């Protein structure tokens, strides 16, 4: 294929684990999960264009210090598509790093889509995508999804209602391997097989409160400030549910109204100016 002057831009939305039940561990060390995943309007951004070589530049508020070497997940994803061709990739890193909202995985998925659009090429084999990381496959769709197995079994449920949400990260990175290592029980109950329709918001929120993030307790041991974030969110007027996402340290809250969410964001920014506080809504 001949080179083009086209520039393709692809958003990489923040991934939120509304639930995260750890249901087992395989002999090879991979954990088995049962997680309800959604995406928000907040995102990193991937931009790609043809080039002689494969290169990566990282900019944005959280881009400083991120490595651009061969093991970068964006470059690993790109190598599945390039087949010897070159591309210049720019990642605008708007989301905190190592924060439990799938930033690297979403960036990798966005890279696949951007290069697919640039070159009109099919996506790589599913097994190659899974090998990039447990969260990459779910980031290929932005609908509400139930993710099971090691992240390779996906059941699309529905587009999300545009619920008002607030994401808060105390600007503390948490090591995912360390959090899993500190998990005391690795054979926990899965989610129920059925759940209310998400657009029946009251019933669905009630159901959601009965679920868990099994990584919350070990993450708090690693970073006790996560408990402070959760307490702060739960104390805000209009907060319907607050929970940690992924392995932390980002926590989310769903609010009754946009007004209540925005008031909570303002309050937390005043009390905790060193925290990342980001009002958003579910990507519908």
Evaluate whether 154 touches 259 at the Cβ level (below 8 Å). no
Closest CA to 172 of 245, 231, 98: 98
In angstroms, the CA 110 to CA 128 distance is 15
Evaluate whether 90 touches 47 at the Cβ level (below 8 Å). yes
What are the CA-CA distances from residue 87 to residues 21, 48, 68, 125 (Å)?
A: 39, 7, 14, 20
**Residues 6 or more apart in contact with residue 91 via CB below 8 angstroms:** 44, 45, 46, 56, 57, 58, 59, 60, 63, 74, 107
Give burial (CB, 10 Å; 0-12/13-18/19+) of 176: middle
What distance lies between CA 95 and its chain's CA centroid?
Answer: 10
- Joined tokens for residue 282: 């579910």
In angstroms, the CA 207 to CA 195 distance is 7
In angstroms, the CA 24 to CA 100 distance is 20
User: Residues for the chain: how many in total?
Assistant: 284
Count Cα neighbours of 121 within 13 Å in the Cβ-side half-sphere.
19
- Cα dihedral sign, 149-17-10-163: positive
Residues labelled as active-site residues: 15, 135
């Amino acid at each position: 294929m001949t080179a083009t002057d086209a520039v393709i831009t692809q958003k990489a939305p923040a991934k939120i684990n509304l639930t995260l039940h750890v249901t087992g561990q395989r002999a090879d060390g991979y954990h088995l999960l049962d997680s309800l995943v959604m995406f928000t309007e907040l995102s990193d951004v991937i931009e790609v264009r043809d080039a002689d070589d494969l290169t990566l530049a990282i900019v944005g508020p959280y881009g400083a210090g991120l490595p651009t070497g061969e093991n970068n997940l964006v470059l690993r994803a790109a190598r599945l598509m390039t087949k010897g061709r070159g591309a210049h990739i720019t990642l605008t890193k708007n989301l905190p790093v190592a924060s439990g909202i799938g930033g690297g995985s979403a960036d990798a998925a966005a890279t696949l889509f951007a290069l697919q659009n640039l070159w009109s090429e099919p996506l790589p084999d599913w097994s190659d995508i899974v090998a990039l990381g447990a969260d990459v496959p779910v980031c290929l769709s932005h609908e509400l999804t139930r993710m099971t197995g090691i992240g390779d079994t996906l059941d699309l449920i529905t587009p999300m209602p545009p619920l008002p949400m607030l994401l808060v990260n105390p600007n503390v990175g948490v090591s995912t391997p360390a959090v899993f290592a500190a998990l005391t029980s690795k054979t926990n109950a899965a989610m129920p097989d059925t759940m209310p329709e998400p657009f029946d918001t009251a019933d669905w929120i009630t159901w959601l409160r009965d679920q868990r993030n099994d990584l919350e307790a070990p993450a708090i041991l690693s970073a006790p400030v996560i408990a402070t974030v959760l307490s702060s969110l739960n104390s805000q007027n209009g907060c319907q549910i607050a929970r940690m996402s992924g392995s932390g340290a980002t926590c989310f809250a769903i609010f009754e109204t946009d007004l209540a969410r925005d008031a909570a964001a303002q309050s937390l920014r005043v009390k905790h100016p060193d925290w990342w506080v980001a009002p958003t809504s579910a990507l519908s």
